[in-house]
Amino acid sequence: MFTHLRRGRGYSFETRVVAELNSHEWRARRLGGSSMGLPDVVAVSTYNDTLYSIECKSTKSTAAYVPQDQLLRCKEITQMFDKYTNRYVVLGFKFAANKAEIRNKRKIKKRKLKYFFFIISDTRYFDEIEWFKCDDTGRISFKSKTMPNEILQKYQLFDRVCLDIPLLRTRMNQRTLV
């Protein structure tokens, strides 16, 4: 039963992302995600010669993870379609709103619905990364056994936003990993 709820939440988020992209100068489709061995969503824009390979995560928890196999699937799609000059892996996170409550004698703060999108242009280290993690404040981190800390710190820089869809830009936070 819980798996069905999680899947439904993820499906709903993916469908919303596709609808937002399609309402502008994009063509986007859900691909079936992990059950098909593909990213959740692929979007293209011939207007700005761009392809997004998107992995969506939706949770009620305080953190969401994207495992390496899903990162590599997204990377593979960007490599397949070299017709597009601009090719990015996008990690989208949705953190559902919750009510204030008490768990284990600790008060849990009420949280509003939040969205975060991270656009990654440099995927060369994906083979080294075990997972990406985003928390409900939008802070992203990742785990690697082989990459030195200096490379990890460099790789975590956010310096520009690429999503140019007005509704996503105004309602959802976006950051770019370059």
For residues 149, 150, 154, 155, the Cα torsion angle rounded to the nearest 10 degrees is: -40
Fold of 2-177: Trna Endonuclease; Chain: A, domain 1 (3.40.1350)
Q: In this structure, what DSSP letter does residue 126 have?
A: G
* pLDDT score for 75: 94
Q: What parts of the chain have a pLDDT lower than 70?
A: 1-10, 33-34, 100-103, 105, 107-108, 148-178
Domain ranges (residues) in the chain: 2-177
Give pLDDT tens digits for 32-50.
Answer: 766 778 999 999 998 889 9
Helix (H, G, I), strand (E, B) or coil at 33: helix
* pLDDT score for 162: 40
From first CA to last CA, the distance across the chain in angstroms is 39
Q: Which amino acid is at 88?
A: Y
* pLDDT score for 151: 55
Cα 30 to chain centroid, rounded: 14
Stated as kind and residue range, the H or E segment containing 28 is: strand 27-30
Residue 9: both structure tokens together: 């939440």
Q: Is the entire prediction scored with pTM above 0.85?
A: no
Q: How many CB atoms lie within 10 A of CB 119?
A: 21
